[in-house]
Amino acid sequence: MPERLENLMKRIRDLPSLPESLLEINRALEDERISIKEVCDIIERDVGLTTRVLRVANSSFYGLSGRVDTVPRALTLLGLATVKNIAVTSGIREIFRQKVPGIDPEFLWHHSLATAITMEAIHEGGSTLMKDRAFICGLIHDVGKIVLSLLFPEKMEEFTAKVSSGGSSRLEAERQTFGFDHTEAGAAAVREWRFPAIYQTIILHHHDLEMGRYDPDSIKDESVRSLLESLLVGNVLAWAILGEESPESIAERTAKLPLQSLSLPPQEVPALVEKCRARWEEARESFST
């Protein structure tokens, strides 16, 4: 690893650590052999996590209002994969609750959730594993923005001024101010937080297109390529879901994306935005408290 990134890792290790339960759940994410009992134990060891999982499991997002009173019951009614996802999402949600200078964590959470829901919808017909990975990728793709603010609070004012002066792109301004951009900071953080390796790769490359270094032919792993492509789409559609841009102008933008693993005819974009917005509103509500 280059010295510059070693340095970044060292700084990330000094950040307040995440709850042990989230680290354990992250490790369990792609462990297909993990038992229901083990997941149950991880969640139940953390009272806060147990409460959050039960609250979300009972929300309208999962359609089980009031019927889930224990973690084992949540596992029976929703299944292992869904409960693991609720636990990870609740853990990631906590990262976005911190007060950090220079960014609005709530806005970033809404953007991330919209990206996650779009990515999940794109992978709808695929395997459960890919659908779950897509959702989590969307949730954490921009976590590096929070990490940079936690690492360099004293530099955030300088950074914000640089971005609003319009002289450089956000990524350039990050590199100039902090020495790293949010793709590097995010990838290093999820490595430290024991997320499966695929998430580091996706985060690290999620702005390659804007940086003029996107080369889909060099990506040998088909899962990585299709997740990166759905993230490109998700990042654009999120603007329409949050009401910041019209679905028609979004359709024009997505038509220009270099997609190989997935096809998204422009005439289907408005309906996809509509469907994802409804789902986003429910999810926002479920994870609001």
Residue 205 CB, shortest distance to Fe ion, in Å, is 11
User: 71 with 77: CB under 8 angstroms?
Assistant: no
**Cβ of residue 121: shortest distance to Fe ion, in angstroms?**
16
Closest approach of Cβ 160 to Fe ion, in Å? 16
Instruction: For residue 252, give both structure tokens.
Output: 């024009």
How many Cα atoms occupy the beta-carbon half-sphere of 158 within 13 Å?
Answer: 11
Shortest Cβ 107–Fe ion spacing (Å): 11
d(CA 271, CA 118): 12
- Residue closer to Fe ion by CB (options 52, 145) is 145
Q: Shortest Cβ distance from residue 166 to Fe ion (Å)?
A: 19
Handedness of CA 142, 148, 154, 157 (dihedral sign): negative
Q: Which of residues 129-158 bind Fe ion (CB under 5 A)?
A: 142
Cβ proximity to Fe ion: between 27 and 175 the closer is 175
Q: Give 149 or 235: the residue with its C-beta nearer to Fe ion.
A: 235
Segment lying near Fe ion (by CB under 5 A), choices 18-26, 69-77, 151-159, 229-237: 229-237
Q: Cα–Cα distance between 69 and 59 in angstroms, integer? A: 12
Q: Does 235 bind Fe ion (CB under 5 A)?
A: yes
Q: Which two tokens stand for residue 200?
A: 């580091």
**Nearer to Fe ion among residue 26 and residue 235 (C-beta):** 235
Token couple for 149: 């603010």
Question: Does 26 interact with Fe ion (rule: CB under 5 A)?
Answer: no
214 close to 258: Cβ distance less than 8 angstroms: yes
Minimum Å gap between C-beta 143 and Fe ion is: 9
Which of the stretches 58-66, 78-86, 227-235, 250-258 binds Fe ion when contact is defined by CB under 5 A? 227-235
Closest CA to 29 of 168, 169, 137, 173: 137
Is 230 one of the binding residues for Fe ion (CB under 5 A)?
Answer: no
Q: Is 248 helix (H, G, I), strand (E, B) or coil?
A: helix
Residue closest to 253 by CA, chosen among 275, 277, 235: 235
Work out how close the CB of 138 gets to Fe ion at its nearest, in angstroms, rounded to a whole number: 9
Assigned token pair, 174: 């990050």
Residues forming the site for Fe ion (CB under 5 A): 142, 235
